[in-house]
């Protein structure tokens, strides 16, 4: 019995201590004119879709809910955000080369078409990010038009 109490106490202490190691929520400075929605003059429907389903992980407009303050869950979420921005950062779209823009639009189409984006783990917590068939089509059609420019 004493051993189990010691183990529980140790686990509790560890859980308390890790709360002091939060994720980086700082926002990198960026030029709003470089954002994909401005740079590519996206239609309102596409803006709404992307801001609702993509921008939390693929821009600097991340909204951090309360649970992003709870480790170790916050670390997992923070890692997803870092990966999302590293893979495609809509805030830096205007800085990408034409070749990279074309490639990223091709990837966007593929990921949306295959149902890989937005991530299922994201849509579970953010039901508003689930895309309808019509929204997927609108997003992919717009991406194809953008791709044609490059």
Q: What is the pTM of this model?
A: 0.87
Residue 125: what are its φ and ψ, rounded to 5°? Answer: -85, -20
As a whole number of angstroms, the distance between CA 128 and CA 72 comes to 25
pLDDT tens, N- to C-terminus, the chain (150 residues): 588 888 888 888 888 889 999 999 988 889 999 999 999 999 999 999 999 999 999 999 999 999 999 999 999 999 999 999 999 999 999 999 999 999 999 999 999 999 999 999 999 999 999 999 999 999 999 999 999 998
What is the structure's pLDDT at 2?
81
What is the structure's pLDDT at 63?
93
As a whole number of angstroms, the distance between CA 106 and CA 108 comes to 5
Task: Answer whether 85's CB lies under 8 Å from 58's CB.
Answer: yes
Provide the residue range defining the domain that includes 92.
Answer: 2-149
| SS3 (DSSP) at 91 | helix
Task: Answer whether 84's CB lies under 8 Å from 121's CB.
Answer: no
Sign of CA dihedral 55, 77, 130, 63: negative
| Terminal C-alpha separation, the chain | 68
Residue located via tokens 């639009």? 105
Overall domain count for the chain = 1
Residue located via tokens 């890692």? 79
Task: Answer whether 40's CB lies under 8 Å from 46's CB.
Answer: no
As a whole number of angstroms, the distance between CA 6 and CA 92 comes to 50
């Amino acid at each position: 019995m004493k051993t189990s109490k010691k183990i529980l106490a140790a686990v509790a202490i560890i859980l308390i201590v890790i709360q002091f190691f939060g994720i980086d929520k700082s926002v990198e400075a960026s030029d709003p004119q470089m954002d994909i929605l401005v740079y590519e003059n996206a239609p309102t429907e596409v803006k709404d879709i992307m801001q609702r389903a993509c921008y939390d992980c693929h821009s600097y407009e991340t909204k951090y809910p309360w649970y992003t303050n709870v480790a170790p869950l916050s670390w997992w979420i923070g890692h997803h955000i870092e990966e999302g921005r590293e893979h495609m950062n809509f805030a830096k779209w205007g800085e990408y080369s034409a070749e990279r823009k074309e490639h990223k639009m091709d990837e966007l189409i593929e990921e949306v078409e295959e149902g890989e984006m937005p991530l299922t783990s994201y849509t579970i917590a953010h039901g508003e990010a689930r895309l309808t068939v019509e929204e997927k089509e609108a997003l992919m059609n717009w991406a194809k038009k953008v791709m044609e420019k490059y």
